[in-house]
Amino acid sequence: MTSADLFQLRSVILTSIERINESSVIARKDFLNTSEAQPGIHVDENDHARDEATLNTQLELHSRNLCLRNQLYAALARIANGSYGLCLRCEETIDLRRLQARPAALLCLHCQTRQENKVTATLHPSVGRRSPEVLNLSLLTA
């Protein structure tokens, strides 16, 4: 990775952090406005359920943005200490295209894929295996 690539990625990271910070301020104001709603007003149950679902979604998105911001700050720290762009598992260089797509990436594509496959196999042991019904159908069509 060239110094120009590193400079460009650092700029992208800083811009992303700034965008998250701006949206965080807006989200906090929205949360305060929601919490200050007049409790004396009777709201239809459906309206209340919709408002609660919307608020829960907004809170989840805000939480994810804060997590991403922390990952981006960590990426800036890795740039500063010279370890940015190295896979934490195999210590090979992470492809520049991957870093451009996901500047906070910690793993190369190969290691990330292996990790996701392990998680999938742990959470869904039947993934990748054919059920007996599928095997029987494949015998009939052969």
Tell me how many degrees the CA angle 98-16-60 measures, rounded to the nearest 5: 95
Domain containing residue 91: CATH number? 1.20.120.910
Three-state secondary structure call for residue 124: coil
Cα-flanking dihedrals φ and ψ of residue 127, to 5°?
Answer: -65, 130
Percent of the chain with pLDDT over 70: 80
Q: Tell me, yes or no, whether 23 and 42 share the same domain.
A: yes
Count of domains for the chain: 2
Q: Tell me, yes or no, whether 61 and 112 share the same domain.
A: no
Q: Tell me, yes or no, whether 9 and 79 share the same domain.
A: yes
Residue 72 belongs to domain spanning: 3-107
Q: Tell me, yes or no, whether 54 and 119 share the same domain.
A: no
Chain segment 100-140, per-residue pLDDT in tens: 999 999 999 999 999 999 988 887 766 555 444 444 444 44
What whole-number distance in Å separates Cα of residue 58 and Cα of residue 19?
16
Q: Tell me, yes or no, whether 97 and 126 share the same domain.
A: no
Q: Tell me, yes or no, whether 87 and 115 share the same domain.
A: no
Q: Tell me, yes or no, whether 46 and 112 share the same domain.
A: no
CA 89 to each of CA 31, 113, 116: distance values in angstroms, whole numbers, following the listed order = 39, 12, 13
93 with 109: CB under 8 angstroms? no
Chain segment 55-110, per-residue pLDDT in tens: 888 889 999 999 999 999 999 999 999 999 999 999 999 999 999 999 999 999 99
Chain segment 20-49, per-residue pLDDT in tens: 999 988 887 777 776 555 555 556 788 778
Q: Tell me, yes or no, whether 103 and 115 share the same domain.
A: no
CB atoms within 10 A of CB 3: 7
Q: Tell me, yes or no, whether 120 and 103 share the same domain.
A: no
